[in-house]
Amino acid sequence: MNNNIDKKVVKKGLLPYLFIGLIIIGIFFFINVMDRKVNYLTYDEFVNELSNNKITELEITSKTGAYTYEVKGKLKGYDEKETFSARLPLSEEVMKKIVQASDENSFKIEVKPNPESSSFLIILMEVGPIFLVLGLGFWFFSRQMAGNKSSLDFGKSRAKLNEDTNKATFSDVAGLKEEKEELKELIDFLKNPKKFQKLGARIPKGVLLFGPPGTGKTLLAKAVAGEADVPFYFISGSDFVELFVGVGASRVRDMFQQAKRNAPCLIFIDEIDAVGRQRGTGLGGGHDEREQTLNQLLTEMDGFGANEGIIIIAATNRPDVLDPALLRPGRFDRQVTVNLPDVKGREEILGVHARNKKLADGITLANLAKRTPGFSGADLENLLNEAALLAVRRNKDVITMSEIDEATDRVLMGPAKTSHKYSENDRKLVAYHEAGHAVIGLKLKNASDVQKVTIIPRGSAGGYNMMVPTEEKMCSTKSDLLEEVTGLLGGRTAEEITFGEITTGAHNDFEKATKIVRSMVTEYGMSDLGPLQFEQQAGSVFLGRDYNKTQHFSDAVANEIDMEMRKIINECHKKAKEIITKNKDLLKLIAETLLEYETLTKEQIDYLVENGHMPSEEDNDDNYESMSITKLRSIAKEKGIKNYSKLTKSELLKELND
């Protein structure tokens, strides 16, 4: 079936080129005819023009066996590309008239031999076009075959052999200590399989790596192959699936055949959920091609055939959608969770990515690791790269804390919107809103540390408050969650107390607070409804599985859930009001300082809370970022910067640095 399809594809692809070739040949042969104007004269007309002395040049060609002359030439009044043609009888009388007219009028006569008398020209004229067409056809066919080479290899595996000379090893994988220990057995088996076979131990046939994006699953698989020093085939799950049914299964068979010839070896399948999703969950029936590919993969991993020395490592972000048959013992019988790194893991990852970067004195990787909870390995690499790019833009020789702070903001929220103009009233609203979050964070016992407060807009936020936990925990207590909700409501509460008005600025705070409170009631059993779970943890929807998902509680219980959620939110809102009302002076101090400086770091906030004012400002170029907007405007005035009084702090910093 595939051969017939390939032939049809080649024929359909070749026909347009052949058609174009014929058109080109036609143009080549008739271009002279189309480009010139030829007037055909009768014998009498020719004699008349000859008698009237209108001929300026003449070309005579005799025709063998036709008893005629073919004459071509030009008449007076013709343009450069205009000629005439006529046939004359083969007689001495005609030639005498022509010679006599030439002598009288002195026009040029050229006599050419009959081209038909040359056998070479006859062959060239008759056989040449045939060879030309055949040559063009062969050329187009060769190009078409080269372009459709992949179409003739439908069933071939797309798995590629990693031939990189700089192979990754475990030394290139920072953190992930437990995960590396889990995979060391695979390396020992690939190096010395007899050691395991002696005791009858069966090494896992497949290892599934799952976890959030950017945590290093692909790098971990490469490191296993590098440590074992064995062939490493890699392929994406989407490379198996094609339009035609059966192609994916053929590719799976071919991939395992290649692996058997190079055993022992590793096969790495990235994003295996593209081909390994649960069967029979598609709306209106399954996907035949994907399901046949999955069936073939299941058979190859643990079917009738033996795949000695072949270990499959797969990675996915969605283990919940995989077919249960893939996860049973004998197939992917070892599952390794690759989680986000803890503070120690982040420090090690930063150490790997900081090898080729110059950091300023005083910057320690341990402090950076504490400031970046929730960052994946990819996020940390991006953070240092953004900081290096910013340092280059600012013409600095080393990366300072200023670039790292800006890079952190870029990774979390996006670039600052310095071109957006906000009114003073909007700036004041945002300043008091963010100050409200900061006051709650400073006064609650179990709240997170306030690391940074800014009113510079980024993304969809007019400002934001960066808060990190004092220590990383495996589990959160009810008190921790309640204080987190209270902190999220601090911004709206500050608006109410200060302005007696509320704005739309807290919509993202409400979204986060509602999610936490609903989880407390429906998942964690942290309400008066008792230790019951009414809902499962929300994740990405798998339509085929979740389409007919039913609610496992009554409408009366749903009403009680709503009442419990409202109760918790109201209690947290009440507590936030008490804290901010009690600390109005601190709220005003932070807000007014934010209006001057736009951004406050943890050190500045601590100094401000302790002393009631900011540290004294030094008058030097290296300290612009820590100066107030009033001081910057004073320096801008001295330097002659235009419209300095209307510029924001970010715009002033840009002008002064330039």
The residues annotated as belonging to the active site are 434
Give the Cα separation of 348 and 381 in Å (integer): 12
3-class SS of residue 176 = coil
**Residue 559 tokens, joined:** 């009403």
Query: What region, left, alpha or beta, does residue 132 occupy, with left being phi > 0 and alpha being psi -120 to 50 degrees?
Result: alpha
**DSSP letters of 464-524?**
EEEEE-SS--SS--HHHHHHHHHHHTHHHHHHHHHHS---GGGHHHHHHHHHHHHHHHHTS
Task: With CA atoms as reference, report the closest residue to 494 among 506, 510, 477, 479.
Answer: 506
Q: Element (H or E) spanning 650, and its range?
A: helix 649-657
Beta strands across the sheet bearing 464-468: 464-468, 449-454, 599-601
**Residue 155 tokens, joined:** 């069933």
Instruction: Mention every residue, 6+ apart, whose C-beta is less than 8 A from residue 221.
Output: 209, 234, 266, 268, 313, 315
Say which amino acid occupies 408.
T
Task: With CA atoms as reference, report the closest residue to 162 among 255, 232, 91, 217.
Answer: 232
Do β-strands 232-236 and 37-40 pair in parallel, antiparallel, or remain unpaired? Answer: unpaired
Instruction: Mention every residue, 6+ apart, whose C-beta is less than 8 A from residue 499.
Output: 429, 432
3-class SS of residue 461 = strand
The answer to whether 60 touches 16, Cβ cutoff 8 Å, is no
The answer to whether 188 touches 195, Cβ cutoff 8 Å, is yes
Q: How far is CA 565 from CA 238, 495, 522, in A?
A: 43, 23, 10
Instruction: Mention every residue, 6+ apart, whose C-beta is less than 8 A from residue 179.
Output: 209, 220, 336, 337, 338
3-class SS of residue 451 = strand
Q: How far is CA 532 from CA 514, 525, 527, in A?
A: 19, 5, 9
Please classify residue 89 by burial: count the beta carbons closer than 10 Å to its beta carbon, then call 0-12 exposed, 13-18 middle and 19+ buried.
exposed
As a whole number of Å, the end-to-end CA separation of the chain is: 68
**Residue 9 tokens, joined:** 């594809």
**Residue 427 tokens, joined:** 């700036």
DSSP 8-state symbol, 37: E
Instruction: Mention every residue, 6+ apart, whose C-beta is less than 8 A from residue 237.
Output: 269, 270, 271, 272, 273, 274, 275, 276
Give the Cα separation of 142 and 136 in Å (integer): 10
